[in-house]
Amino acid sequence: MKSDAGSALAIHAEGLGKSYRIGRGVRATTLAERIATTLRHPFGTGHGELFWALRDASFEVPRGQAVGIIGRNGAGKSTLLKLLSRITTPTTGWAELRGRVGSLIEVGTGFHPELTGRENIYLNGAILGMRKHEVARRFDEIVDFSGIAQFIDTPVKRYSSGMYMRLAFAVAANLDAEILVIDEVLAVGDLEFQRKCLGKMGEVAGAGRTVLFVSHSLHAISTLTSRTLVLDRGRIAFDGSTSDGLAYYRGLQAAGADSPHAYKAPAGKTGVHLMDGHVLTSISDGLHRHGDPFALEFTLDVPVPVSQLCFSVHIMDETDRAVNHFWIYGDGPSFRNATGQFRVRIDVPKYRLVLGRYTVTVWVTDRATHTIYEHLTNLCPFEITMDGLSRPDYDWSPEMMVYAEDYTWDVRRR
């Protein structure tokens, strides 16, 4: 067994790959289906095509390095993290991690709404792999960081969303792991809280711990990491300095996806997820005239009932600022507590975005458990034009306003 050569390495992955079988009748979920499939195709089980969510990923991470992982939706980021955190097993290849691994695929995993903050700290700590005495030793620090000391003996179901996130992140941030694998946990919470988390993570990375960090926030990636892996269609397309990585990633984004104005979930995706999404624009595919009726259409796949399933959509402008938020929270939409595929359509009678390019961000979450099922960005890029709107003397330009409204003039001589 090699020892000295590998001891400076925290992570060594060689040819890691994960494939799923997709197609009809492959994943029978009831015995009856299984029997029916067997009767129809009595020989062999190799139906459906093999889809590689991640393929041939090889890399080494020296101890103490912070590495960012970026890539478009479905590029294999989550799969890589799930393999390294041992949530799922690879189809090919192997990896070796030296040191205690702490993985944060989400914060607050296993939080129970009926339990108090104190009880949840112990439970969540244990779920993250901490020993009871470690949690006890860190308890005051955790409560301190969360800033909700006076509610520590209140059931968390009475917490606001922000308080909940604070407490959940506080537990995770105090995890004593040599290798931290983190997925997109900064995507939630208010700005101040995000800044605090970012600070804490910078501290962690600075303290000589190895960090693997997936994020959609290029800002977070560039402040926290010096090296970046860019994934594209299941492969590591780039491995190098973060500044070069970000440039490479921007190039990928500019090159665009196969079908630019629609989103389709990568094959083999399971769990509660967005199957597809379209923007219905007025002039042509991806081009919309200011003030015309506009619609967004999505298909949600909900294989297991979720009581507080929430679906919301942001329209982002070119500077990644949310200019619109469409949500379905209240009044129990039919996809709650039910299973199946649901079409969600959002109609805007007169869409008055200012000219420019926009993209769609989609969130699918469970408000009860604060689970993020989907956080997809840069979907369905579209462009708004103000051509043909009467304004003969001047050209329209994107910077002249952030918002346009219908209005009338009334000018009279007094």
Partner 1 sequence: MTGAPVVRIGAGASGALHRLHEIWNYRDLFGALGVRDLRLRYRQTALGIAWVVLQPLAAAGIFAFVFGRIARVPTYGQPYLLFSLAALTGWNFFSSILTRASASLIQNPQLVTRVYFPRLILPLSVVPAALVDLLVTIVAFLGIALAQGRTPAATIVALPLVLILLGMLALGTGFAAAALSVRYRDVQYLLPVAVQLALFASPVGYSSSAVPPQWQSLYYANPLAAPLELMRWSLLGTPAPTLSRIEYSVAVALILWLAGTWIFRHIEQSFADEI
Sign of CA dihedral 342, 283, 262, 370: negative
Tokens at residue 75, please? 């590029």
CB of 83 to partner 1, least distance (A): 6
Residue ranges in contact with partner 1 by CB under 8 A: 3, 7, 16, 20, 27-32, 34, 82-101, 103, 105-106, 109-110, 112, 114-115, 119, 122-123, 125-132, 178, 270-271, 304, 369, 371
**Residue 155 or 398 with smaller CB distance to partner 1:** 155
| Shortest Cβ 10–partner 1 spacing (Å) | 9
Give the DSSP H or E segment for 195.
helix 191-206
**Residue placing its CB nearer to partner 1 in the complex, 183 or 317:** 183
We find the least distance from the C-beta atom of residue 87 to partner 1, in angstroms, to be 5
Instruction: Tell me 336's DSSP state.
Output: T
Find the shortest distance in angstroms from Cβ 346 to partner 1.
Answer: 28
H or E element at residue 124: helix 117-127
User: Would you say 30 or 390 has its CB closer to partner 1?
Assistant: 30
Please identify, using beta-carbon distances, which residue of 279 and 302 lies nearer to partner 1. 302
Q: What is the DSSP string of 266-278?
A: PTT--SSEEEEEE
Report whether 196 contacts 168 (CB < 8 A). Answer: no
Paired tokens of 201: 């993570």
In sequence order, which residues have a C-beta less than 8 Å from that of residue 173 and are 6 or more positions away?
Answer: 145, 197, 200, 201, 204
Q: Which two tokens stand for residue 106?
A: 């989400």
Of 189 and 291, the one with the shorter C-beta distance to partner 1 is 189
Between residues 85 and 146, which has the closer beta carbon with respect to partner 1?
Answer: 85
Tell me whether residue 29 or residue 319 sits nearer to partner 1 (CB atom): 29
CA quadruple 52, 55, 61, 65: dihedral positive or negative? negative
DSSP single-letter state for residue 353: P
Is 175 within 8 Å of 185 (Cβ atoms)? Answer: no
Six-digit token string for 45 = 């089980």
